[in-house]
Amino acid sequence: MELLRTQNVSFQYENPEELPLSVLRDVSLTVRRGEFLAVLGHNGSGKSTLAKHFNAMLLPTTGAVWVENLSTADESHWLDIRRTVGMVLQNPDNQLVSTIVEEDVAFGPENLGVEPSEIAVRVNEALRLVDMLDYRDHAVHKLSGGQKQRVAIAGVLAMHPDCLVLDEPTAMLDPKGRREVMDTVRRLNRENGMTVVLITHYMEEAAMADRVLVMEEGEIVREGAPSEVFSQVEQLRAVQLDVPQPTELCYELRRRGVQLPPDVLTVEQAVEALAAEWEGSL
Ligand SMILES: Nc1ncnc2c1ncn2[C@@H]1O[C@H](COP(=O)(O)OP(=O)(O)OP(=O)(O)O)[C@@H](O)[C@H]1O
Ligand SMILES: [Mg+2]
Q: Is the C-beta atom of 47 inside 6 A of ligand 1?
A: yes
Predicted confidence (pLDDT) per residue in 114-139, tens digit:
999 999 999 999 999 999 999 999 99
Tell how far the Cα of 39 is from the centroid of ligand 1, in angstroms.
15
Q: Is the C-beta atom of 150 inside 6 A of ligand 1?
A: no
Query: What mean pLDDT do residues 154-170 have?
Result: 96
Write down the pLDDT at residue 21.
Answer: 82
Write down the pLDDT at residue 42.
Answer: 94
- Asked if 160 and 193 touch (Cβ cutoff 8 Å), the reply is no
Residue 64: strand, helix, or coil: strand
Q: What is the dihedral of CA 251, 256, 260, 265, to 10 degrees?
A: -20
Which of 150-159, 231-240, 273-282 is predicted with the least confidence, judged by mean pLDDT? 273-282
Q: What is the C-alpha to C-alpha distance for residues 266 and 258, in angstroms, rounded to an integer?
A: 18
Q: Which residues contact 236 (CB under 8 A, 6 or more apart)?
A: 214, 222, 229, 230, 242, 243
Which ligand neighbours the alpha carbon of 217 most closely? 1
Q: Which residues contact 114 (CB under 8 A, 6 or more apart)?
A: 122
Testing ligand 1's pocket by substitution, the residue of 17, 40, 43, 49 carrying the most ligand atoms inside 8 A of its CB is: 49
Chain mean pLDDT for the chain: 94
Does the pTM surpass 0.85? The reply is yes
Q: Give the number of the atom of ligand 1 that is nearest the alpha carbon of residue 90.
A: 27
Confidence of residue 217 (pLDDT cuts 50, 70, 90): very high
Q: Is the C-beta atom of 27 inside 6 A of ligand 1?
A: no
Confidence of residue 229 (pLDDT cuts 50, 70, 90): very high
Query: What mean pLDDT do residues 209-238 have?
Result: 95
Write down the pLDDT at residue 280.
Answer: 82
- Asked if 109 and 122 touch (Cβ cutoff 8 Å), the reply is yes
Write down the pLDDT at residue 207.
Answer: 95
Tell how far the Cα of 254 is from the centroid of ligand 1, in angstroms.
37
- 21 compared with 72, residue with greater pLDDT: 72
Confidence of residue 18 (pLDDT cuts 50, 70, 90): confident
Write down the pLDDT at residue 281.
Answer: 78
Predicted confidence (pLDDT) per residue in 133-158, tens digit:
999 999 999 999 999 999 999 999 99
| The amino acid at 148 | K
Which percentage of the chain shows pLDDT scores above 70?
100
Q: Is the C-beta atom of 184 inside 6 A of ligand 1?
A: no
Q: What is the C-alpha to C-alpha distance for residues 107 and 109, in angstroms, rounded to an integer?
A: 6
Q: Above 80 in pLDDT, residue 282?
A: no
Stated as kind and residue range, the H or E segment containing 276 is: helix 267-281
Q: Give the number of the atom of ligand 1 that is nearest the alpha carbon of residue 199.
A: 22
Strand partners, 70: 67
Confidence of residue 14 (pLDDT cuts 50, 70, 90): confident
Q: What is the C-alpha to C-alpha distance for residues 89 and 76, in angstroms, rounded to an integer?
A: 25
Strands 2-13 and 219-224, by their bridges, are unpaired
Confidence of residue 48 (pLDDT cuts 50, 70, 90): very high
User: Atom 9 (ligand 1): residue with closest C-alpha?
Assistant: 49
Q: What is the C-alpha to C-alpha distance for residues 42 and 241, in angstroms, rounded to an integer?
A: 7
Q: Is the C-beta atom of 41 inside 6 A of ligand 1?
A: yes
Tell how far the Cα of 61 is from the centroid of ligand 1, in angstroms.
15
Q: Is the C-beta atom of 95 inside 6 A of ligand 1?
A: no
Q: Is the C-beta atom of 48 inside 6 A of ligand 1?
A: yes
Among the listed residues 166, 155, 171, the one whose alpha carbon sits nearest the alpha carbon of residue 189: 166
Interaxial angle between packed helices 267-281 and 245-255, expressed in degrees from 0 to 180 and rounded to the nearest 10: 30
Write down the pLDDT at residue 8.
Answer: 98
Helix, strand counts (H, E) of the chain: 11, 10
